[in-house]
Every structure is written in structure tokens, then in C-alpha cells.
Amino acid sequence: MKTVFTTLFIFISLLLTAQEINQFDANGKHHGIWKKNFDGTNILRYEGAFLHGKEVGTFKFYKNIKKKAVLTATKEFNETDNKAYVKFFASTGKVISEGHMDGKKYIGEWKYYQKTNNKLLTLEHYNDFGNLKGERMVYYPNGQIAEKKTYKNGKLDGISVVYSDTNVLLSELIYVNGELHGYAKYYSPKAELVAEGLYKNDKKVGVWKYYEDGKLTEEKNFSDVPKYPILIND
């Protein structure tokens, strides 16, 4: 019922005369249709409707590009809190990204799109505090996965993998609380092992092995006691 009331309010507000734009209610709160221009210009900066100080319905935000108002974002507000569904646009009108915000914080699922098509570029998730959580995916323009990483409270935490645009695994790393911590492997675009070893608290430790054309060519010891690299001859 409240949704119907709000929709009706916005519709009626749109029919108001220009003299009734940018008004306040009896308590001094924004009420009705509001439109604001960039300072010192007649170029629209934003427009939307308030219900006794609360944003409702669709707000539109613009950039001043060559003295023209170009749509840069929209926010779809609900009636109960500061959460809104947001879309950001390129100057061509193409959607750049979309998702939910709570005030200025990103929350929930967010989608980012490729510049050259409407396929996904990035898919990520935020907790209620605006920090990245769970799996974050990055894609190539052809739809192939480029990166798959896991976050916890805004920090990398878990397995992180990177692929080439032909689906070849290039690296497999482990993060704990934002730091490299665990066994790591790096591969060439030909899927050949290039290097492997252990990270601890974001630093290489122990013996790391390096390869060329699939053959072990060098070992380096990253223990606390400095040692010269061990070269391995065929």
C-alpha cells in the first residue's frame, strides 16, 4: 500500500507547476520535485522527488559536458531507508555498472560491463559495511574468466587464480587476511610451470623452484639465512 501511495505522490508531483519545484514542507524538509543546476549555469545537475525529506522514486544525476547535461547515474530509492538501486552510465548512454548502495556504501551484488559490449567485466559482492566479500570474478571480452578471487571483510582471503583469455591457468595463490600465505604456482601461457614456492605473511620463504620449458633450472632459498641461488645444469 505504501508503494502505491509513493508512486501516486511522485506522479502528482510531476504535474505541479514550475513555481512549486524546490519546495520545503512545514518542518523545513525537502518535499516534492527538486531540480538543481551546476553553479552559475542553467545546466541540470540532478533531479528527483522528496517525500518530507526522504528521497523517493528515481533520481537522475548529470555531468556538465560541453555545456550539456549528460546523464551519468540514476538511483532508484525505496520508501523506508537510504538504500537504492544505482546505475552508472558512460557519456554514450551505455551502462557502466549497476548494483545497490546504502548511502555512499556499495552493498550486495555489483556488476561492471565491458567497454566494447554488454558482457560482464566484473562481478563482485559487498557486505553491509561496504567491504568486498565472497567470490569476485573478472572476465575477458570473450566471456572467458580472467580472475577468480575470494574476499573476506574487504581483504583477499582464500584461493586466487588467474587465467589467460584462452583458459590457461597462469597463477594459483593463497591469501590469508589480505596477505600471500601458502603454496603458490605460476605458469606460462603454454601451461608450463614457471615457478613454485611458499609465501608466509606476504613474503617468499623456503626454497623456490624455477623452470624453463618444463625443466627445473634454478632453486632459490628465501630462508632467514642468506644463500646464493642454486643453479641446476642439464
Does the residue 139 lie in any domain? yes
CATH code for position 49: 3.90.930
- Domain count of the chain? 1
pLDDT in tens, 37-48: 999 999 999 999
| Secondary structure (DSSP) of the chain | -HHHHHHHHHHHHHTS-GGGSSEE-TTS-EEEEEEEEPTTSS-EEEEEEEETTEEEEEEEEEEEETTEEEEEEEEEE-SSSSEEEEEEE-TTS-EEEEEEEETTEEEEEEEEE-SSSSSEEEEEEE-TTS-EEEEEEEE-TTS-EEEEEEEETTEE-EEEEEE-TTS-EEEEEEEETTEE-EEEEEE-TTS-EEEEEEEETTEEEEEEEEEETTEEEEEEE-SSS----EE---
Range of the domain at 152: 2-178
Answer whether residue 148 shows pLDDT above 50: yes
Contact assessment for residue 199 and residue 184, using Cβ atoms and an 8 Å cutoff: yes
Rounded to whole angstroms, the Cα distance separating 33 from 41 reads 19
Query: Residue 26 corresponds to which cell in the numbers above?
Result: 512545514
Q: Is residue 109 part of a domain?
A: yes
Give the model confidence (pLDDT) of 58-109 as tens digits. Answer: 999 999 999 999 999 999 999 899 999 999 999 999 999 999 999 999 999 9
Nearest one of 28, 31, 26, 33 to 11, comparing CA atoms: 33
Q: What is the pLDDT of residue 223?
A: 84
In a domain, 28, yes or no: yes
- The answer to whether position 203 is within a domain reads no
The predicted model gives 125-141 an average pLDDT of 98
Q: Specify if 198 maps to a domain.
A: no
| Residue 164 falls inside a structural domain | yes
pLDDT at 229 over 90: no
225 pLDDT exceeds 70?
no
Write down the mean pLDDT value for the chain: 91
Residue 234 placed within a domain? no
Q: What is the pLDDT of residue 1?
A: 53
Residue 187 maps to a domain: no
Average pLDDT over residues 5-19: 48
